[in-house]
Amino acid sequence: MRHVLFGQSGLRVSELCLGAMVFGDARELGASRKDSQEVFEAFAAAGGSFIDTADHYADGESERLVGEFVASDRDSFVISTKWSVARHGGLQRSGNGRRNMMRAVEASLRRLKTDRIDLYSLHAWDYATPCEEIMRGLDDLVRGGKVHYVAISDTPAWEVSRAKAAHQPAGRRSGSPIPDGTMRIAAEVGSIAALMGASPAQVALAWVRQQQAAVPVIPIIGARTKAQLESNLQSLSVQLDDSALGRLDKVSAIELGFPHDFLRTDYVRALLHGGEPDRLTLRQPLPHPVSDLAMGSGVTKK
C-alpha cells in the first residue's frame, strides 16, 4: 500500500485508513476482540499504517483495542482519534469546550496506552463553543506534545473557515451523509462494477483514491471481519479509466445553486471572456460546465 501526505501537513499516512468504529462489542453491535485483531493484522500486513477511532466508539473499547494492537510497534502507526460526543455522562463529558477537550484527551491517552495522539479531531460541531476557544485548546495540546496534528469533522463549512482564520488545521474530515441522489450514484457505481468484474465497494474506493491528484482524500474503510477488509483492500488494484471516472463525476456533481450555476453557463462565460472563454486557462478549471438549458435560467442568447 502506498503512502500519501495528510492534507497540508508533512504527516505520512497509508492511502487507505482503517476505521475502528466497529472494534469492540461493548454494545453488542461491533466485532469481537478476535475478529478486530484479525482485521487489524490484515490491514498492517497490506502495508496500512493509518487507523481511525474515537473516544466513544464501543464506549471506549475501540481505543483500548487499538492501543493494544499497536503497542509492540507504536511508531509504525498513525493513530487518529476524536472527542466531542458522549452517549453517557451528561453535559460535563460532552461538547467541544476546552474543559471537555482536556479531559477527553487524557482519557484517550490512557485507553490507547500511548504518550501522544498523532491526529486529534473535533468529532462534531456543538453550536455552543466559540471557535477561538477550540483552536486555542488544540494549539495548547500540540505545543504540549500530547497531540501532533489536529483536524475538524462534521462541521459547517463557514465554521471551518473561521477556524482556518484562527489557525491552520491539518485537514478536514467528512462523515457519512446520505444526500439526495445517493441511490442514483449507487446505481451508476454498481453498473461500472458489473462491467469491471469488481464489487461496488471496490469501485467506490478506487474512485475516491483516484481523486488524490486534485484533492487529498483518504478513504476510511471499516470491516467487522478479515474477509470484508480483504475485499476492500482489493480496491488498490482497481483502476478506473477516464470513461468510468467521467460517469461517476457527472452523476455525483453537486448542485451549487445561484450564483455558481449561473456563472458557469456557456452564455455567461462567453460574456466574461469577450466571446472567447476557451482561450483562457483557468487556475481551477470548471469541473462541470452547465448548459443554459440545463440551468433553466430563462436567459435568452442574443
Residue 178 CA to residue 180 CA, distance in Å, equals 7
Residue 117 CA to residue 141 CA, distance in Å, equals 10
Give the active site residue among 57, 120, 127, 267: 57
Q: Which three cell numbers stand for residue 263?
A: 456563472
Q: List the one residue out of 207, 184, 175, 189 whose CA is nearest residue 254.
A: 184
SS (H, E, C) the chain: CCEEECCCCCCEEECCEEECCCECCCCCCCECHHHHHHHHHHHHHCCCCEEECCCCHHHHHHHHHHHHHHHHHHHHCEEEEEECCCCCCCHHHCCCCHHHHHHHHHHHHHHHCCCCEEEEEECCCCCCCCHHHHHHHHHHHHHCCCEEEEEEECCCHHHHHHHHHHCCCCEEECCCCCCCCHHHHHHHHHHHHHHHCCCHHHHHHHHHHCCCCCCCCCCEEECCCHHHHHHHHHHHHCCCCHHHHHHHHHHHCCCCCCCHHHHCEHHHHHHHCCCCHHHCCCCCCCCCCECHHHHCCCCCCC
- 57 as an active site residue: the answer is yes
Residues marked as catalytic: 57
